[in-house]
Structure 1
Amino acid sequence: MNNHTTPTGSAGETVAISQDDELRLNTDVYHPHFTNRKYVRLGTHPTVDLIFVRPVAVDTADPSEEDIASAYKIDHTGYTGEVTCRRFLQHHNYHHTATTQYVAEWWSDHGVLCVDLTDPVPTSEQS
């Protein structure tokens, strides 16, 4: 994923991790896969710095604790989907001191959004 584009060629498909420990799903990533979901589950790869974001299907307005166990709620109030996941990021030593953007790819075979933390997208100051 180090070419800073996604398979469809849209450079807008990024995810930001903020210094406030939020995962911010950019609109190009967010709208096709997450707008109809209230929760996501987060995971990591055992040997590579990847974060997997899986939408959780909850078919009731009042989900049980079992339905949302280990899930994080998506905040739909902005143009992005924000997932506050401080505990997850700190547990995996992914806490950020500055907001950083990463290329994100939707892996349809697995139904997850894959975020490659080894490959940050350069900002205009870094280019």
Structure 2
Amino acid sequence: MGFKKFTKKGGKAGGQSGIGPRVSLRKSGTVGVNNAAVSEYFDGKDYVELFNDAVNQKVGLHPRDDETEDSYKVRKSDREGHGGQINCRAFLREYDIVPEKTTRYKASWDEDQELVVIDLTDPDHVYNSN
């Protein structure tokens, strides 16, 4: 059969993977935002307010350029092609949505609500490790 060369999907490590904007909920109590989501939704926005829709099992992230009493800092990576994270353990615990394993969701923009929305009933990927 022979060797087949592995080709990186996005060029640089941690770069655009071509999967589009994704948000991950982590067991550690953080929310990961991939590079595509940071570029599309958090350009110039360093803070986020978080919303929960328990009935429809959705989470909303409202990107902000200013800090508010209820906002969290979006810690963007200094490494090119990497996304960011939000340390929001209290939010995840309050609504009992801390996952057993890191779980990734497709992120979409809700124009009416001005929120980045993830549907907790439709995970994109569940990682084997935490």
Shorter-chain TM-score: what band? 0.7 to 0.9
In structure 2, the CA distance between the partners of 1:124 and 1:21, relative to structure 1 (3 Å rule), is: closer
Higher relative contact order (CA 8 A, sep 6+): 1
Q: Which runs of 5+ in 2 are unaligned?
A: 1-17
Q: Aligned residue pairs: how many?
A: 108
Q: Which amino acid aligns with 2:43?
A: T
Q: For the residues of structure 2 that align with 1:72 and 1:55, how far apart are their CA atoms? A: 10
Structure 1 stretches (4+) deviating beyond 3 angstroms?
122-125
In structure 2, the CA distance between the partners of 1:99 and 1:46, relative to structure 1 (3 Å rule), is: closer
Q: Which amino acid aligns with 2:59?
A: I
Q: Which amino acid aligns with 1:27?
A: N
What residue is the counterpart of 1:18 in the other structure?
A: 26
What residue is the counterpart of 2:15 in the other structure?
A: none
Kindly provide the CA deviation profile for residues 40-94 of structure 1, in whole angstroms up to 9, marking residues without a partner as x.
Answer: 0000114111000001232xxxxxxxx5111111101251121011000000000
- 1:29 is the counterpart of 2:37: yes
Q: Which amino acid aligns with 2:102?
A: T
- 1:75 is the counterpart of 2:83: no
In structure 2, the CA distance between the partners of 1:124 and 1:86, relative to structure 1 (3 Å rule), is: closer
Q: Which amino acid aligns with 2:86?
A: V
Q: Percent identity?
A: 24
Normalised by the size of structure 1, how large is the TM-score?
A: 0.76
Normalised by the size of structure 2, how large is the TM-score?
A: 0.74
Aligned residues: CA RMSD: 1.9
Matched position secondary structure for 1:93? coil
Q: Of 97, 108, 113, which residue of structure 2 is paired with 1:110?
A: 113
Greater C-alpha Rg: 2
Matched position secondary structure for 1:43? strand
